[in-house]
Amino acid sequence: MSARSVRIRTSSVEATRDAAAALAELARPGDLLLLVGDLGTGKTAFCQGFGRGLGVDEQITSPTFALVQSYTGRLDLNHLDVYRLTSVSEALDLGLNELLDDGGVTLIEWGDTIAGALSADFLEVHLNVDAGPEERSIDLIAVGPAWSARVRSVQTALSEWIDVGTDTASGTGTGTEADGSC
Ligand SMILES: Nc1ncnc2c1ncn2[C@@H]1O[C@H](COP(=O)(O)OP(=O)(O)OP(=O)(O)O)[C@@H](O)[C@H]1O
Ligand SMILES: [Mg+2]
């Protein structure tokens, strides 16, 4: 496993939500997570679990049409889906920088597409369909100081889902993060 990445595996949507909820225990004000993965891999499911872990009571739904939705919890959750955006400036027009400064935690589906406009300090969460239709491998890759300092805590929080047999993260990220070393 790379010093900056953790790979977990889940075999149901509930397991993905549970893992995300466990990760949310580590969340701090201002945190940013970029959710990366093909259509239907579980980005929204991950956000739902993460919200549960933050103590959000409201039902979290896909913000594909609203683009951004905010929820109240132990820390507020800002949930964005930028799939439909055609330019980075549209993301900034949504008030992204203000959201990142407001003390909540921001999760962005398809966030890799706008990573270039963001400060390089986030956790990338790469979801991939694995062996079966309900299997997912999920690589969590720390980019920048905020999450790099917490990789060991991430490993501990997600130990239940870490697959020790195949623990080499292969996520390619946005090019600045994983060194691929073990
Ligand atoms: N292990 C798993 N983890 C997450 N989702 C799973 C898993 N197994 C099956 N699923 C199913 O995959 C689908 C994931 O849907 P979800 O809306 O979370 O994906 P998404 O990546 O947000 O899609 P989109 O790109 O359209 O936003 C759900 O129907 C869910 O039940
Ligand atoms: Mg989604």
| Percent of the chain residues past pLDDT 70, beyond the cut | 87
Paired tokens of 23: 């990760």
Which residues line ligand 1 at a C-beta cut-off of 6 Å?
10-13, 15-16, 37, 39-45, 62, 109, 134, 136
Paired tokens of 84: 């439909």
Q: How high does pLDDT run on average in the chain?
A: 88
Mean pLDDT (whole number) for 21-34:
98
How many angstroms separate the Cα of 86 from the Cα of each of 64, 90, 93? 13, 7, 12
CA of 64 to the centre of ligand 2 (A): 7
pLDDT at 62: 87
Q: Do residues 141 and 150 lie in contact, with contact meaning Cβ atoms separated by under 8 Å?
A: no
pLDDT at 112: 93
Mean pLDDT (whole number) for 33-61:
97
172 SS3 class: coil
CA of 82 to the centre of ligand 2 (A): 10
Cα(16)–Cα(153) distance, rounded to whole angstroms?
A: 18
Residue 173 has pLDDT above 60, yes or no: no
CATH 3.40.50.300 holds for 5-161:
yes
pLDDT, one tens digit per residue, over 97-136 is: 899 999 999 999 999 999 988 889 999 999 999 999 999 9
The position carrying tokens 């549960």 is: 52
Which protein residue's CA is at the shortest distance from atom 6 of ligand 1?
Answer: 13
Query: Which residues neighbour 155 within 8 Å (Cβ) at sequence distance 6 or greater?
Result: 6, 162
pTM to 2 decimal places? 0.91
Cα(96)–Cα(107) distance, rounded to whole angstroms?
A: 11
pLDDT, one tens digit per residue, over 63-97 is: 766 788 999 999 999 999 999 888 888 888 888 88
pLDDT, one tens digit per residue, over 44-55 is: 999 999 999 999
